[in-house]
Amino acid sequence: MRCFLEIAYNGSHYHGWQRQANAHTVQEEIEQALSRMMGQPVDITGSGRTDTGVHAKQQVAHFDTDSSLALEQIQYKLNAMLPPDIAISACREVKSEAHARFDAQERGYHYYIHQKKDPFLDGQSYYFSQSLHVELMNIAAEKLLGRQDFESFSRVKTEVNNFICEIFTAKWFWENDQLVFNVRANRFLRGMVRALVGTLLEVGREKLTVEDFVSIIAAKDRTKAGRAVPPHGLYLSEVQYLEDIYC
């Protein structure tokens, strides 16, 4: 059977999601635990990568197994085997052709900012003490909506064929003392959310106008956008699938 794992992780101590030689990654940790549990090598396929230091509230990955263990047992054992900074929040059976990456309809990210020094948010939110005009940031964020070319916010070295993404949601909101950027799209380019947030902060600081922001999107030139914000404020927050993939 094929299973989807829903995974939360604190990315602080990992070189991102994706397995790679000579670097400690989240995928590798989970594959090692699953392989130990099943007594044979198990590969998992994630919905997408996250970069070094980026967190996930809900990453999704699939794997195949002919184990007779119940889904709850797999989840329970994995949580016991995995380190405290990786948690399996669900293990669900899906149709045999379901694919964590190709079947993802929508992905969501949250970027967290706090403006007052807080020892308990260190490593889990970006400390940015300069004052921000949040209303302007939201007017600019609205300009991101829809199907557009986001080359201006893509890392220069990248393997993609095109830079077209469809953004469904782009909104700043307050969650207690934290300012959060919620962005949802069919896909994201590498480094895109951190470049978007860095540029929107320039709007918030009134170093860029909303019109400047619109020109930056149109320029399709990464050198025009703002600096990327650090990874430790970024969370992959949700990956959505059609309901009919689940058994």
Task: Just list the catalytic residues.
Answer: 51
Q: Kindly state the greatest CA–CA separation across the chain.
A: 59
Q: How far is the CB of 209 from its own copies (least distance, A)?
A: 30
CB-hemisphere CA count at 13 Å for 91? 22
Q: Which of 85, 106, 149, 212 binds its own copies (CB under 8 A)?
A: 85
Q: Which of 64, 118, 177, 206 binds its own copies (CB under 8 A)?
A: 118
For residue 10, state whether it binds its own copies (rule: CB under 8 A): yes
CB-hemisphere CA count at 13 Å for 136? 19
Which of the residues 127 through 146 are near its own copies (CB under 8 A)? 127
How many positions of this chain bind its own copies (CB under 8 A)? Answer: 19
* Tokens (6 digits) for 124: 């889990």
Query: Residue 144 and residue 121: Cα distance in Å, rounded?
Result: 28
Indicate if the alpha-carbon torsion angle 124, 126, 132, 138 is positive or negative: negative
Among 220, 235, 217, CA closest to 140: 217
Q: How far is the CB of 129 from its own copies (least distance, A)?
A: 9
Q: How far is the CB of 124 from its own copies (least distance, A)?
A: 6
For residue 122, state whether it binds its own copies (rule: CB under 8 A): yes
Query: Which residues bind to its own copies, rule: CB under 8 A?
Result: 8-10, 55, 79, 84-88, 116-120, 122-124, 127
